[in-house]
């Protein structure tokens, strides 16, 4: 089944020529620590720009609510105060944290927003990583079971000190889903919204599917697979996004909650599904779980598929995307 898909930083889109895009309107901005891109079809340029304004405003709003880099955000307040008692937050944030805990249970703890209890010790720009003793000291604070969400009261608390959360593994997917709803409410039927490696598309490219090319982890100009998609979300996570190499080891931004270190069985994961909150959460889960267990998790989800590039060079596909030569006979 073909799905529609939005452009992604970590995937290469084959676009229609500019001459065929007279009514497409687009804009980019740096928000949430990443590239935000919007492209939509509208015959009225004023309404088109207004819709893009609304999307960008939504991205800023979610960033102000959930960023760990903004000291006044509600997530920062949770990290400061939740070990001492319940912290009152917006129902929206409480709901997303609860959804994150569901992902943790679904993935057997491979997805865990409390990875930040160790993750904050890494600085990829400064090429800094924690020592083994620092990791071991902080590791007991990593467990999604340390986070208690009361949806009725809209509060979050931690069961012990030292716990930190970071929604970076799900917030961008959530943001593009929210932006897509805003566009739908404005009657826009053909659009793409992306935040870094997480994207949604509404409609198609005016009668044609989107063709995405999944990039090679070591070469952004090399494509390892092209997939026609319609009406879907897509997320890609790779060890080449935020990283540094030291002593033959790659330290990248995806952290295994069980070890406090970067996993190395996988180089990149691309997941296609009905919404970006799901696809982003699944990419992180597959990265930590490894290719075989991770693909089994994806295939257990309705209407989800994945492409996994392994560290040994293998490219694995879920059953719904397997090339004809690999697909099993009925």
Mean pLDDT, residues 89-110: 97
pLDDT tier at 325 (50, 70, 90 boundaries)? low
Looking from the CA of 155 toward its CB, the CA atoms found within 13 Å total 12
pLDDT in tens, 196-247: 999 998 888 888 887 777 889 999 889 988 878 788 899 999 999 999 999 9
Output the pLDDT for position 17: 41
Percent of the chain with pLDDT over 90: 80
pLDDT in tens, 147-190: 999 999 999 999 999 999 999 999 999 999 999 999 999 999 99
74 pLDDT more than 80:
yes
Looking from the CA of 104 toward its CB, the CA atoms found within 13 Å total 22
Nearest alpha carbon to residue 15 among 229, 211, 270: 211
pLDDT tier at 68 (50, 70, 90 boundaries)? very high
Q: Please, what CATH class does the domain formed by 69-165 belong to?
A: mainly alpha
Judge contact between 56 and 195, C-beta under 8 A: no
Hey, what are 35's tokens?
Answer: 């590239």
Hey, what are 164's tokens?
Answer: 């930190």
Report the mean per-residue pLDDT for the chain: 90
- CA atoms of 269 and 9, how far apart (whole Å): 14
Nearest alpha carbon to residue 94 among 76, 75, 112, 108: 75
Q: Please, what CATH class does the domain formed by 13-65+171-208 belong to?
A: alpha beta
Give buried/exposed letters for 138-175 (b at 16+ CB in 10 A, else e). bbebbbbebbebeeeebbbbbeeebbbbbbbbbbbbbb
Contacts 24+ apart (CB under 8 A), 132-139: 135/259, 135/260, 135/261, 138/162, 138/260, 139/259, 139/260
Judge contact between 82 and 74, C-beta under 8 A: no
**For the structural domain made of 209-330, what CATH number should be given?**
3.10.520.10
Nearest alpha carbon to residue 306 among 292, 293, 320: 320
Locate the domains of the chain by residue range. Answer: 13-65+171-208, 69-165, 209-330
pLDDT tier at 11 (50, 70, 90 boundaries)? very low
What's 128's DSSP letter?
Answer: B
Output the pLDDT for position 171: 97
Judge contact between 222 and 212, C-beta under 8 A: no
How far is C-alpha 241 from the chain's CA centre?
12
What's 141's DSSP letter?
Answer: G
| Domains 13-65+171-208 and 69-165 in one fold | no
């Amino acid at each position: 089944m073909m799905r529609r898909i939005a452009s992604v930083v970590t995937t290469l889109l084959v676009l229609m020529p500019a001459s065929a895009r007279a009514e497409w309107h687009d804009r980019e901005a740096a928000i949430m620590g990443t590239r935000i891109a919007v492209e939509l079809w509208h015959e009225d340029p004023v309404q088109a720009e207004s819709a893009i304004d609304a999307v960008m405003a939504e991205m800023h709003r979610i960033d102000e609510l959930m960023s760990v880099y903004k000291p006044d955000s509600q997530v920062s307040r949770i990290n400061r105060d939740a070990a001492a008692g319940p912290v009152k937050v917006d129902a929206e944030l409480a709901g997303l944290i609860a959804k994150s805990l569901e992902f943790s249970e679904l993935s057997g703890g491979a997805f865990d927003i409390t990875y930040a209890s160790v993750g904050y010790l890494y600085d990829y720009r400064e090429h800094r990583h924690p020592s083994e003793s620092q990791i071991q000291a902080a590791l007991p604070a990593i467990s999604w079971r340390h986070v208690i969400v009361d949806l009725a009261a809209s509060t979050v608390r931690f069961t012990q000190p030292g716990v930190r959360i970071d929604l970076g593994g799900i917030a961008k997917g959530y943001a593009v889903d929210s932006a897509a709803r805003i566009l739908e409410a404005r009657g826009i039927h053909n659009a793409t919204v992306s935040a870094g490696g997480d994207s949604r598309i509404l409609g198609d490219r005016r009668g044609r599917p989107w063709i995405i090319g999944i990039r090679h982890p070591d070469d952004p100009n090399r494509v390892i697979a092209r997939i026609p998609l319609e009406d879907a979300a897509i997320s890609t996570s790779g060890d080449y996004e935020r990283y540094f190499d030291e002593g033959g080891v790659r330290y990248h931004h995806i952290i295994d909650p069980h070890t406090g270190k970067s996993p190395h069985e996988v180089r990149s994961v691309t997941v296609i599904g009905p919404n970006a909150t799901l696809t982003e959460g699944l990419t992180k889960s597959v990265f930590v779980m490894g290719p075989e267990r991770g693909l089994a998790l994806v295939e257990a989800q309705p209407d989800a598929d994945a492409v996994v590039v392994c560290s040994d060079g293998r490219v694995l596909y879920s059953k719904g995307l397997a090339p004809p030569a690999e697909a099993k006979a009925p």
